[in-house]
Amino acid sequence: MTDCGKLVILDRDGVINEDSDDFIKSPKEWVPLPGSIEAIARLKQAGWTVGIATNQSGIARGLFDEAALNAMHDKLAALLAEHGAAIDYITWCPHGPGSTCRCRKPLPGMYEEIAEHFGCSLIGVPVIGDSLRDLEAAVAVGARPILVRTGKGARTLAKGGLPADTSVFDDLAQAVEALLAQAAVG
């Protein structure tokens, strides 16, 4: 497999948009975190490929359907389009926690799907999430785990047990700034 170059994988809820223990169930509830849309646009303007991998067990729980999920992603696309940007690939797991699927994080199925889609290895690819399961799935494919304190990130950090070499940032904008600075000197 080839090197993925400038690929970054993002979790959605708690990284790009506000999260809720009651789930994000509609486009109205899907509210971007401050600076997240602009951060993704900065990545795109710098030539990065942006993928999203998101657990969406609200579908299995009957809280919303795939049409509602697509409407949320359409809202994200519209907001990014205002900044001349777009997500390159998005994948989601609709299964619940009791499922035996391979796609639900902390299992690496969605990340493997992204690697297959782009035809590359995820070794060293930055994966930005707000939960331990995001980071565990990243480590499983050799990607570089990055935690943001937004969403469930502060709770995740407080619990400890992060994978070795996990970078921690306040939010997506700060993580993106670090990635862009590293790429500029790398």
Please list the active-site residues.
11, 13
Distance (Å, whole) CA 22 – CA 10: 21
In the 3-class helix/strand/coil scheme, how is the chain assigned residue by residue? CEECCCEEEECCECCCECCCCCCCCCCCCCCECCCHHHHHHHHHHCCCEEEEEEECCCCCCCCCCHHHHHHHHHHHHHHHHCCCCCCCEEEEECCCCCCCCCCCCCCCHHHHHHHHHHCEECCCCEEEECCHHHHHHHHHCCCEEEEECCCCHHHHHHHCCCCCCCEEECCHHHHHHHHHHHHHHC
- Give the type of residue at 39: A
Q: Provide the token pair at 37.
A: 């849309």
